[in-house]
Amino acid sequence: MERISGPYKGYFIAAYTVEAGPTFVGYAKVCLQEPESVWSTNSVEKLTSASGCKSELDALLAAEQKARHAIAEISPGWDTTSVPGALN
C-alpha cells in the first residue's frame, strides 16, 4: 500500500508499507515538493513506523503520523536546504 498526502505545513508525505512476515512496517518520506510516486522522491527525511502493525493501513497511518509529528517539530525559520536527518 502506498499514498502521497499533503501538503502539511508546506511538506508532502510519501508513505508506503512493507510486509514483514505476518505483520507490516510503514515508511514515510518527507518531501519539499509533491512527488510523482513514493519511489521517485527527493526527500528531506525518511522515517519508519513501529514494526508489527497488524494491517497495511495501520502501518501506513503510523508512518504518516510519525512524519506529521516530525514536521510539526520543525522550528520557524528552519532552513529547508539542510542535510537529511534534520527532522530527527
Question: Cβ atoms within 10 A of the Cβ of 45, count?
Answer: 19
Residue 11 domain-assigned (yes or no): yes
Provide the domain count of the chain.
Answer: 1
CA–CA separation, 85 vs 4, rounded Å? Answer: 20
Residue 16 domain-assigned (yes or no): yes
CA–CA separation, 35 vs 53, rounded Å? Answer: 26
Residue 80 domain-assigned (yes or no): no
Residue 78 domain-assigned (yes or no): no
pTM comes to 0.79
What domain range includes position 22? 2-72
Residue 36 domain-assigned (yes or no): yes
* Per-residue pLDDT tens listing for the chain (88 residues): 999 999 999 999 999 999 999 999 999 999 999 999 999 878 788 888 767 899 999 999 999 999 999 999 876 655 554 444 545 4
Burial grade of 13 (CB within 10 A; 0-12, 13-18, 19 or more):
buried
Residue 84 domain-assigned (yes or no): no
CB 30 within 8 A of CB 87: yes
CA–CA separation, 53 vs 62, rounded Å? Answer: 9
